[in-house]
Amino acid sequence: MDAPTLDPLSDEGGGGATTKADAAVAAHVAAVDETARIARSAADGKSVAPPEPTAAPSLWPQQLDTGWQCVSTAAGACASPADWPTHGWLDAPVPGTVASARQAAGLLDIGHPPSLAYDDHWYRVTLTGIGKRRLRLHGLATIAEVWLDGIKRLDCDSMFIAHDLDIELNGSATLALCFRSLAPALAAKRPRARWRPRLVSPPTLRNVRTTLLGHMPGWCPSIHAVGPWRPIELLGDTPHAFDTIDLTSRIERDDGVVSLTLRFALAHDAATCAATLKCGTAVASLQWRDAHTLTGCVRVPHAQRWWPHTHGEPTLYPLTLQLDDGCASSHALGSIGFRSLDVQRGADGAGFALHVNGVPVFCRGACWTSADLVTLAGTDAQLRHTFELARATGMNMLRVGGTMLYESDAFYALADEYGVLIWQDFALANFDYPNDAAFRASIEKEATQFLTRTRRFAALAVLCGGSEVDQQAAMFGLPPSLRAQPVFTELLPAIVLRERPDVPYIANSPTGGAWPFSTDEGITHYYGVGAYQRPLDDARRARVRFAAECLAFANVPDDATLHDALGTIHSHDPRWKAAVPRDPGAGWDFDDVRDHYLRTLYGVEPARLRYEDAGRYLDLSRAVVAEVMSDVFAEWRRADSTCGGALVWQLQDLRAGAGWGVIDATGRPKSALHGLAHTLQPLQVTLTDEGLNGLDIHLINERAQTFSGRLELVCLRDGSVKVASASCAVELPPRSTQRIGAAACLGQFFDFTHAYRFGPRAHDVTLATLRDAASGEIVCEAFHLPERRVSESHDLGLTVAVQRCEDGWQLVIEAQRFARFVHIIDPHYRAARDWFHLAPQRPFIVPLIPLTSFASQERIVAHTSSPAVNADATCATPAGEVRAINAISATFYRWVSS
């Protein structure tokens, strides 16, 4: 690859910049916190997103987001704008992609997308004005040219690099962007790779700086990233407009310190313009370094720390710039947080545990894909909805992997606001990358721009060089000396040390051990339980230290999604199988993985059950992944575990169907997400089967306050008859875990796990309940079944009452016998709690959430041609059914007005 053509006017070392375009997005994303007003930044640290309008003149760049058109041609058909076709132009959203323009015009078939990366695509818009301007292009995917009035002004060969271009307008001018076919770049001669992964097609994509999304058969639809996917801005039409802004935070003793470097597009009179920076209630004067540049620091005494939400409040301080040059004006600059990070390796030096503000944090969550594969951004509603689901589940970390792309500032601002840590891979995965000067220069520019624009975000917690790069080489049999890549061991760590020294860096994921993917050292991608079909006790035997990926299953969506998005619930329909992920070259897919656990844990034959009762097959498929995920995380969170964190592969599907995501393509939670929610809360009780040692009860308190409560232990036969019970007072100090043997709690022999087998099993289920000592309210529950098979169904005496409540509607569900994996089905609502076990004679309240309140419509439309959910769903009264996998029949409900 040739060295990137960079305009000499671009500022490589610019500060964390945000654009006016994203201000509008981010303003929706955060109603309370000013941080969410930060829009997408210029990838090389150029501008800052504007706040809400004030009385003062706007100092933010002009967003070029209207009036665009695009047209596609055969590769090489148009050498310049003079050769443009006269017909076929479409209105084009910018920022956006060719795919999003075609989708808006009703011309995109998601199931059979065209090979967009191998054609040429032109965009055009008219610029008006007089005088010098600076054109700011935040991201062009991927081989791109910039033309002004028929003259080529800029070349781009990386979608991850932003560019500045100085121009002069004399009335009106035509700005044109050409996105060239990838074919010549892919065919260019480069040194031979030492290995060729099967994941990506074609393998020569290693030579091009573009996302692997759309180029991974079996993983996601082949929708190629082409177009101006990041905002385009025009600077210079507003006197004294902001050009670049760089904000950083640090902790000094007990104080928080914010540093600001702000550069203006035009010169100020430093002698007559006073400036201050306010952080919370703290204020400090700024100094003029020159006529364009303001610098300074503000100290916040006894600053409150920013915490992941599981361990405290994600406290953010609003920032305000005050300028007084004869007309005082205030400008909100978003918000910032104060936190410290470090990694502890354990006594043997082989572990990986993240400490935030000196406190160990069990990191749990999932791997991010994209809010929308077509737009590469998603809407503010999609982003916020996904963060809300992740936080409610108990997740405190998301990983943006190297096979994906760098997210917008709105994404990182939401992570700050919601208290969700971000593990960020650089956009490098699987390949043996080039090591020539041009490639290294491109990576240095890309990494520097990303780190400077995200420097202000407290949520950024881990930086990783490459995803499965070292693993690929090791699995091909190369020794360490032949698989090392200087970009990961030399270049990137130096850039991170310079730009984000507060964030830990690791060269590769996985890494550690005799093999880089060993599970008992460093960081692993754990699929023992999952793709490798190991028994559940392998989760302990593997001695996982930190799983940056784990537990991949083809997770079945609810019937509503299958009907709305696919028009079928037939698990052997071609549309179903098209959405089931598979590894290239493998003779199995992830439906087969899920079916393995259905067979071994539940004692059913999946093929026969699917043939005889397709509906029950789907329900048991949903239940088994919820159970497996819950059990594995209970194992890893126990007091004696070596595990410092685990991230499920993946958070959300890229298309409708049984994908890896725990959230489906319409934004609805799957059973797997509900299963995780049962085990990931900051105040948690879990049970682990210790065989002949019985059951262990694990109590977890991640909060900063002592918890005083009562632990109740009950064993039931036939789902309702109490055969053993005990209770005891418990006190959990802050940030602590405790292990209590069920035998010690009961005080007498009882075969909790049916390990001794002295006669028939005496019970069906053990229930551990943790109550608050003061209120008596249930804080959390855990269940253990000594026998998981589901061969019998019973009349559970299940009743459902529909109630109006302050926030809308709720269900009150009660059963006379233990109900296993209760599932609520309503055409207009989803249940806030679902796929849960229900103890007998214990009413359980489940809030109902209107489907139209969480972006389901947007995402169904984005991924299918089927009609969306009824737009009047929020006006409908609840009417549906409640199932349990051990119930002989469903229980129906509907609202009956009094």
State the average pLDDT over residues 104-114.
92
Q: Do domains 392-406+417-650 and 799-894 have the same CATH topology?
A: no
pLDDT score of 167 more than 50: yes
State the average pLDDT over residues 784-813.
94
Does the domain formed by 20-235 have CATH 3.20.20.140? no
Contact 272, 326 (CB under 8 A): yes
* First-to-final CA distance of the chain: 73
Q: How confident is the model at residue 13 (pLDDT cuts 50, 70, 90)?
A: very low
**Three-state DSSP state, 481:** helix
Q: What is the chain's mean pLDDT, rounded?
A: 89
Q: How confident is the model at residue 57 (pLDDT cuts 50, 70, 90)?
A: low
State the average pLDDT over residues 728-746.
96
Domain parsing of the chain, residue ranges = 20-235, 392-406+417-650, 683-784, 799-894
Q: Which residues are within 8 A (CB) of 12 and not within 5 positions of it... i.e. 6 or more apart?
A: 6, 44, 445, 448, 449
pLDDT (0 to 100) of residue 121: 98
DSSP per position, 482-526? HH--HIIIIIHHHHHHHH-TTS-EEEEESB-SSSTT-TTSSBEEE
State the average pLDDT over residues 415-434.
97
Asked if the peptide bond before residue 202 counts as cis, ω within 30 degrees of 0, the response is yes
Name which residue leads in pLDDT, 264 or 573.
264
Lowest mean pLDDT among 56-60, 380-384, 876-880: 56-60
pLDDT (0 to 100) of residue 564: 78
Contact 603, 634 (CB under 8 A): no
CATH tag, 799-894:
2.60.40
Q: Of 1.20.1260.10, 1.10.569.10, 1.10.3720.10, 2.60.40.10, which CATH number belongs to 683-784?
A: 2.60.40.10
Check residue 675 and report its DSSP letter.
Answer: H
Tell me how far apart the alpha carbons of residues 325 and 809 are, in angstroms, rounded to a whole number. Answer: 55
pLDDT score of 372 more than 60: yes
Q: How confident is the model at residue 561 (pLDDT cuts 50, 70, 90)?
A: confident
Tell me how far apart the alpha carbons of residues 896 and 898 are, in angstroms, rounded to a whole number. Answer: 6
**Three-state DSSP state, 733:** coil
**Residues 112-127: tens digit of each pLDDT:** 899 999 999 999 999 9
pLDDT (0 to 100) of residue 219: 87
pLDDT (0 to 100) of residue 659: 94
State the average pLDDT over residues 123-136.
95
pLDDT (0 to 100) of residue 571: 66
pLDDT score of 558 more than 70: yes
**Residues 442-469: tens digit of each pLDDT:** 999 999 999 999 999 999 999 999 999 9
Q: How confident is the model at residue 378 (pLDDT cuts 50, 70, 90)?
A: confident
Q: How confident is the model at residue 576 (pLDDT cuts 50, 70, 90)?
A: confident
The DSSP bridge pattern shows strands 421-425 and 397-400 to be parallel
State the average pLDDT over residues 836-855.
86
Which residue has 């560019």 as its token pair? 163
Q: Which of 227, 5, 234 is nearest to 136 (CA)?
A: 234
pLDDT score of 50 more than 50: no
pLDDT score of 390 more than 80: yes
Both structure tokens of 699: 């109590």
Q: How confident is the model at residue 262 (pLDDT cuts 50, 70, 90)?
A: very high
State the average pLDDT over residues 529-548.
97
pLDDT score of 634 more than 50: yes
pLDDT (0 to 100) of residue 604: 96
CATH tag, 392-406+417-650:
3.20.20.80
What angle, rounded to 10 degrees, do the helices at 856-863 and 380-393 form? 110
Using alpha carbons, list the distances in angstroms from residue 889 to 627, 796, 822, 838, 892.
21, 9, 12, 16, 10
Check residue 577 and report its DSSP letter.
Answer: H
